[in-house]
Amino acid sequence: MAKRGAQMDQPEQPISMHAFKRITDACLRTEVKCRQKAKADGKRWQVLVEPGGRVPPNLTRRDGVACFRLLMGHDYLQAHLCRIGLAVDPTCTLCGREDMSSEHLDVCPSIEDIRSLILSDNIYRKKALVYWEARRRMAELP
Ligand SMILES: [Zn+2]
């Protein structure tokens, strides 16, 4: 960074140390953000780079954990368990129709009953309740 800064055109008028620090900090933040975006490009967690894509911090721990797991894909649903080698088949253990991923929880007929019972308008709360119910039902299977 210092080497690059020395090669840039130097200002005609001297600037204060405070202004210099502010400018340097802004440049550094921009560069770090660009690097993070480049590293996250195409990854499932790409949404975490943008503040609007994050899980809200005001959720209960239980809901926050569920939403974060679903967002990251480390959700311990059948597709994830198969990906990490703990299951041989990614197919939904509750309905057997398709791979059991976070997207499948929105359409799985075996947990339709719980989805229809949840009246909360909070999408995060709703996703968390469906997730934990699916995990509970998975655990009850022989
Ligand atoms: Zn299913």
Distance between Cα 97 and ligand 1 center (Å): 6
Query: How far is residue 107 CA from its own chain's centroid?
Result: 20
The number of beta carbons lying within 10 Å of the beta carbon of residue 102 is 22
Distance between Cα 91 and ligand 1 center (Å): 8
Q: In a structure prediction context, what are the per-residue pLDDT tens digits for the chain, which is 142 residues long?
A: 788 878 888 777 788 899 999 999 999 999 998 998 898 888 887 888 877 778 888 999 999 999 999 988 899 999 999 999 999 999 999 999 999 999 999 999 999 998 888 877 888 999 999 999 999 999 998 8
pLDDT for position 76: 94
Distance between Cα 108 and ligand 1 center (Å): 4
In whole angstroms, give the CA distance from residue 117 to residue 109.
14
Query: How far is residue 34 CA from its own chain's centroid?
Result: 18
Could you list which residues have their CB under 5 Å from ion ligand 1? 92, 94-95, 108
Distance between Cα 15 and ligand 1 center (Å): 63
Distance between Cα 42 and ligand 1 center (Å): 26
pLDDT for position 45: 79
